[in-house]
Amino acid sequence: MPQILKINTGHSEEDVIFNAAAIISRGCVIAYPTETIYGLGADATDEQAIRKIFEIKGRNFSNPVSLIIGRREDAHPLVRAIPESAQKLMDAFWPGPLTIVFEAAGCVSPLLTAKTGKIGIRLPGHDGARRIALAAGKPLTATSANLSGLPQCATADEVIAQLGDRLDAVIDLGKTGGMTASTVIDASGIRPALLREGGITREEIVSRTGIEIV
């Protein structure tokens, strides 16, 4: 069984966050909550840790993996540029369930981009997820914590039932929103493209940003 980290009489939320970051820093993989579902977190700058993510999920390397950051400025080293449309999206919906796809900087592993040259980044609305990324000092992988083809998980118990001892630790900070995964918009082109509608609808995006999306 994986190590279960949760808030109780002996461990504060600060303790849980610190320990989660320490586990990630050792090249290990955790499951952690976001405002939508539980995700699989590893140091996104560690190639071996990234490979573990694919092994845990039983996922093909042709699928990209998005990232979670702890603060907005952490996106800059990971991308070649932040287009005006992306800046509007960040202003309107970060922190929140919106993944924005950028042209990836050279430091980003091709395993994460599936050799597309693009990387999805999200500043989550879940305080715990942001704090883990900040404490680790690294971007975290943000793929859903489930086996490929099986339902996404809204609770730590659901994660354990699916992934069991494939994980090093599960960060149990309670039930997530359990909604569909984050909305994904590719802002790397001339016109932003809606790749997946999730926690934020197309109508919300247009009304709050004025951006025309395809």
Q: Phi first, then psi: what are they for 15, rounded to 5°?
A: -60, -45
Give the model confidence (pLDDT) of 174-213 as tens digits.
888 766 778 999 999 889 999 999 889 999 999 999 998 8
Place 148 in a pLDDT band, splitting at 50, 70 and 90. confident
Residue 169 pLDDT? 96
Residue 212 pairs in a beta bridge with: none
75 to each of 72, 111, 123, 134, 154, how far by Cα in Å? 6, 18, 9, 12, 26
Share of the chain above pLDDT 70, in %: 99
Cα angle 127, 131, 135 (rounded to 5 degrees) comes to 180
Report pLDDT for 141: 97
Residues 6+ apart with CB under 8 A from 118: 64, 101, 102, 103, 104, 186, 188
Q: Convert the pLDDT of each residue in 7-20 to its tens digit.
A: 886 788 899 999 99
Please check whether residue 147 is in contact with residue 101, taking contact to mean a CB–CB distance below 8 angstroms.
Answer: no
Q: Please state whether 140 falls in left (phi above 0), alpha (psi between -120 and 50) or beta.
A: beta
- Identify the pLDDT of residue 83: 95
Is the pLDDT assigned to residue 88 strictly greater than 80? yes
Q: Is the pLDDT of residue 99 over 80?
A: yes
Q: Helix or strand or coil: residue 148?
A: coil
- Domains of the chain (ranges; CATH) run 3-209 (3.90.870.10)
